[in-house]
Amino acid sequence: MKEVKLALINILLAFSILFVLYLTMIPHALIHTGDVNGAVVQRFNYNLNPLLIFQNFKTDSLFYFLVDDLGNIMLFIPFGLFLSMRFPEFKFGQIGFFGALFSATIEWVQLFLPNRMTDIDDVILNTTGALVGYFLYRFYVEAGEEVDN
């Protein structure tokens, strides 16, 4: 039974990674990412000003906030959760490191993709999502221990 559980966790972790890559590397008209309609190609579009999201909060639409800001957090919650399940010995800092590394790698690749934007805020929000996944796992483990006692 333990092998089946580990295999399921591995599949879910792989699926979460593939889902993140699917949403971040392929253009999607519904969430307004990438070159969907053959628009003018822009390359090397980036923001290295951390927490610019808070400066633009008053002028951006609710849709942009939900998709870009909350979406970046929610996108990485499964990654942090399943990574924590796969490696239960990992601590807060390790999950944060791997979340930031995965996100920074995506942002680096997006720098070279047409009509994509590399944004340090995405790394911050994605890392936050991975850490939320870690805390959900810790909550699950601690709740299970309380039931056993």
**For the segment 29-86, what is each residue's pLDDT rounded down to a tens digit?**
776 666 556 565 566 778 888 877 767 666 777 777 777 889 999 999 999 999 999 9
Rounded to whole angstroms, the Cα distance separating 11 from 70 reads 25
Q: Residue 21 contacts by C-beta under 8 Å, 6 or more apart in sequence?
A: 106
Q: Would you say 88 and 134 are in contact if contact means Cβ atoms under 8 Å apart?
A: no
Residue 49: per-residue pLDDT:
85
Q: Whole-prediction pTM value?
A: 0.88
Question: Using H for helix, E for strand and C for coil, what is the string for the chain?
Answer: CHHHHHHHHHHHHHHHHHHHHHHHHCCECCCCECCCCCCCCCCCEEECCCCHHHHCCCCCCHHHHHHHHHHHHHHHHHHHHHHHHHCCCCCHHHHHHHHHHHHHHHHHHHCCCCCCEEEHHHHHHHHHHHHHHHHHHHHHHHHHHHHHC
Q: Would you say 107 and 123 are in contact if contact means Cβ atoms under 8 Å apart?
A: yes
Residue 47: per-residue pLDDT:
83
Q: Where are the domains of the chain?
A: 2-34+45-148
Residue 21: per-residue pLDDT:
96
Residue 70: per-residue pLDDT:
92
Rounded to whole angstroms, the Cα distance separating 107 from 103 reads 6
